Amino acid sequence: MSALIEVRDLKKHFPIRKGILVQREVGAVKAVDGVTFDIAEGETLGLVGESGCGKSTTARLITRLLDPTSGEIRFRGQDIAGLSRRELLPLRREIQMIFQDPYSSLNPRKTVGTIIGEPFVIHDIERNEAARKRRVQDLMEQVGLNPEHYNRFPHEFSGGQRQRIGVARAIALKPKVIFADEPVSALDVSIQAQIINLLRDLQRELGLTIVFIAHDLSVVRHVCDRVAVMYLGKVVELAHADALFTHPRHPYTGALLSAVPVPDPRLAKQKQRQVLVGDVPSPTDPPQACRFHTRCPKFVAGHCDVEEPLLGPPEQAESPSPAPGATLAACHYPLEDQEVRRQVPTAQV
């Protein structure tokens, strides 16, 4: 599969200013600090990590809801990182977003028909009101909503129905890419499955590329083709979903997977959970070199805190250029097979 979106050394630093009359910059929150990955056409890429690791900020940068501090964002070969609002308008039709909270992302003063039809008005696609209403009702039916509820307001719908409204709005212009920012985290488990199945059906029907941001690793494994694990503004591991869940290489990924509940009590007793010590460091002053070294059980002084590991194959010395689809991990001392077997419930090594 060819790369639809290419992200290179993407950074977003939010300045910290002090002062009342005269403000001065005293630092910056390094929310995203050098992220690099590709998104293949037609795939589902998962972005996972702890709260505050930069997942949502990365999505907002690629969709250009935020302006990057530096770096490149290439969509179909065109660098869109520096485009103006006017230049970005055609791009908005190609890249859409589904937000986490299905209620706050909908204007409570507008009817559902107006909300879903708004993209047509903004992009001046369907001026005829009757024709626009028919297209909106078709979209409502496509996502599992009753077209007769066209004139209802968001508060008259359940949480799952509101998220379907957000999905309908996102696919209205037939985009190529959808960024789903934790679209099921605010929903009941049974409703989560319905929304996930809806997204997968729409992906097949419309040929969508999806970037799925989530905390729930079981959902990510079920939905995603590849997974990028983020920690403190950086991608620390990138791999196919099956490879990541059965043979993680980065200690942080191993710690995340060791916390996954095991339905088999006997298997659960055999696994040794890897509990991370300390708190996540502040993004205003992240650790030097490897950002995970302050919490890493495999920390080696004089190496991990001096030399920053690059995102590449764990067998870096033997394979200097990664093969397509290879696991990439930013770690000097990746997990060995016996460590994975001991800690990770989903391991198959």
Distance of alpha carbon 333 from alpha carbon 249, whole angstroms? 9
Report yes or no: 348 and 246 within 8 Å, Cβ to Cβ. Answer: yes
For 206-216, give one letter per residue: b (16+ CB within 10 A) or e: eebbbbbbbeb
- Give the model's pLDDT for residue 138: 97
- The helix or strand, by DSSP H or E, that contains position 254, with its residue range, turns out to be helix 251-258
Least confident of 47-61, 177-191, 322-336: 322-336
Mean pLDDT, to the nearest integer, of 33-52? 94
Cα–Cα distances in angstroms (integers) from residue 170 to residues 45, 118, 188, 299, in the given order: 18, 11, 22, 44
- Give the model's pLDDT for residue 318: 40
Distance of alpha carbon 347 from alpha carbon 201, whole angstroms? 29
pTM check: above 0.75: yes
Least confident of 178-182, 225-229, 237-241, 274-278: 274-278
Report yes or no: 208 and 176 within 8 Å, Cβ to Cβ. Answer: yes
Q: Does pLDDT of 305 surpass 80?
A: yes
Q: Does pLDDT of 298 surpass 70?
A: yes
Q: Any idea where the domains of the chain sit in the sequence?
A: 105-174
272: alpha, beta or left? (left if phi > 0; alpha if psi -120 to 50): beta
Helix axis angle, 112-122 relative to 159-171, nearest 10°? 20
* Longest alpha-carbon distance in the chain: 69
- Give the model's pLDDT for residue 189: 85
pLDDT, mean over the chain: 91
pLDDT tens per residue across span 138-173: 999 999 999 999 999 999 999 999 999 999 999 999
Mean pLDDT, to the nearest integer, of 206-216? 93
Q: Which amino acid is present at 317?
A: A
Confidence of residue 104 (pLDDT cuts 50, 70, 90): confident
SS (H, E, C) 165-213: HHHHHHHCCCCCEEEEECCCCCCCHHHHHHHHHHHHHHHHHHCCEEEEE
Mean pLDDT, to the nearest integer, of 53-81? 95
Question: What value, to the nearest 5°, has the Cα angle with vertex 50 and ends 49 and 54?
Answer: 70
- Give the model's pLDDT for residue 315: 61
Three-class SS state of 311: coil
Distance of alpha carbon 153 from alpha carbon 168, whole angstroms? 15
Q: Which amino acid is present at 265?
A: P
Q: Does pLDDT of 213 surpass 70?
A: yes
Distance of alpha carbon 184 from alpha carbon 215, whole angstroms? 10
